[in-house]
Structure formats: structure tokens, C-alpha cells
């Protein structure tokens, strides 16, 4: 079996790894994984529930947006697909991308949460970090969701800055509904 290496730092990685645990780089998937139909997310069920419908019964809300938000940090890119959230911070027990922030002591263990809705809208929330979270140099109030868009700059503490890449939602209208 061939040895796999991280494209970002050349560290040895396992074929099952999604990110490099040395530098935090997202690893490419070589073999497409056959997946069954994705069940609706909790958010889709909540948004699609008809008034008066029993819990657990929701009407169809349409497909999840194919949008993937990318944060380009100096240590590597962090990708967040639609319908998910990701904690940014130094604690590997809290953040899947903790390796990217390991050398930044001013980044909190659980610093901020990035959320991309099913429809492709992105927000960041400061998780009561010690040194703050900033969007385009404006401080995010702790516990408050702030909308982020393509071209924004996100900064954790004083010196960890990322450029936001949020591609257009092709096939989706400005309100997040699929165009016919």
C-alpha cells in the first residue's frame, strides 16, 4: 500500500483522515464513497414543519445547497459544507481543525463557531473567547451570530486572519429557495 502524504506539509496521513492532524489541511478524497440518500437535517425538519403537524412529521424542504464555505487561514484552508457547523479553536476535543491553531496561544480552546445553513448562508459566533473574533475588523459580540459573505475577512484574536470564500449559490434564489 502506498504511503499517503499531506499536500500542505508532507506529513504521513491515513487514507481515512479528512484533515491533516499536523497542519490542519483538508485532505482530498481519492475514492468516492457510495452514500445512501441523506436524511433531512434537524434544521430542515424544523423549518419544514407544517403548523399543527405532529413532531417528527415535516414537509419536504428541497435539496441542501451545494455551497461550501472556505476559510483560507495561514496554516491551511478550512471548508464548511452547507448544513453543518464547525468550532474553531485550539482544543482537539472541541475543534476538528485544532491543529491549525495549535501554535497560536491567543486563540481560545473554543474560540468561534462557523455555521453554514442548509440554504448556504454563513454565520460566525464568538464563543466567549478571551481575545475576540472579528469580521472585517469589527468585533463580534460574544454569543451573537454575525453573517459572513464572500470576500469578508475573519480574524481570531490579534493575528489569525482568514479570507472567506463563499461561492454563489448557483440554482438558488436570494432567499435560498431552489430555482426551477
Half-sphere exposure (Cβ direction) of 30: Cα atoms closer than 13 Å: 8
- On the 0-12 / 13-18 / 19+ scale of CB atoms within 10 A, 93 is exposed
- Residue pLDDT, tens place only, 118-165: 888 999 999 999 999 999 999 999 999 999 999 999 999 998 999 999
State the distance between the two ends of the chain, measured CA to CA, in whole angstroms: 46
Q: Scanning the structure block, which residue is given the C-alpha cell 506529513? A: 11
Residue-range domains of the chain with CATH: 1-30 (no CATH), 68-165 (2.60.200.20)
The number of C-alpha atoms within 13 Å of 172 and in the hemisphere containing its C-beta is 19
- Three-state DSSP at 47 gives helix
Phi, psi dihedrals of residue 80, rounded to the nearest 5°: -130, 110
- Quick check: 33 pLDDT over 60? no
pLDDT at 164: 95
Better-scored residue on pLDDT, 37 or 35: 37
Q: Sorting pLDDT into bands at 50, 70 and 90, what band is 12? A: confident
Cβ neighbours, 10 Å, residue 71: 27
| pLDDT, position 49 | 55
Which letter, b or e, does each residue of 149-162 get, where b requires 16 or more Cβ atoms within 10 Å of its Cβ? Answer: eeebebbbbeebbb
Q: Cell numbers for 12, please give them.
A: 504521513
- Between 21-30, 107-116, 121-130, the lowest mean confidence (pLDDT) is in 21-30
Q: Does residue 97 register a pLDDT over 70?
A: yes
- In percent, the amount of the chain with pLDDT more than 70 equals 71
Amino acid at each position: 500500500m502506498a504511503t499517503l502524504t499531506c499536500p500542505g506539509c508532507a506529513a504521513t496521513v491515513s487514507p481515512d483522515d479528512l484533515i491533516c492532524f499536523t497542519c490542519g489541511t483538508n485532505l482530498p478524497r481519492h475514492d468516492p464513497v457510495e452514500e445512501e440518500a441523506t436524511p433531512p437535517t434537524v434544521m430542515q425538519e424544523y423549518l419544514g414543519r407544517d403548523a399543527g403537524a405532529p413532531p417528527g412529521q415535516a414537509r419536504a424542504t428541497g435539496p441542501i445547497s451545494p455551497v461550501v464555505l472556505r476559510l483560507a487561514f495561514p496554516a491551511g484552508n478550512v471548508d464548511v459544507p452547507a448544513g453543518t457547523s464547525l468550532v474553531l479553536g485550539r482544543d482537539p476535543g472541541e475543534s476538528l481543525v485544532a491543529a491549525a491553531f495549535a501554535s497560536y496561544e491567543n486563540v481560545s480552546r473554543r474560540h468561534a463557531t462557523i455555521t453554514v445553513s442548509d440554504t448556504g448562508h454563513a454565520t460566525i459566533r464568538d464563543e466567549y473567547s478571551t481575545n475576540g473574533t472579528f469580521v472585517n475588523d469589527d468585533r463580534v459580540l460574544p454569543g451573537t451570530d454575525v453573517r459572513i459573505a464572500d470576500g469578508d475577512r475573519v480574524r481570531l484574536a490579534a493575528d489569525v486572519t482568514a479570507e472567506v470564500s463563499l461561492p454563489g449559490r448557483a440554482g438558488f434564489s436570494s432567499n435560498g429557495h431552489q430555482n426551477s
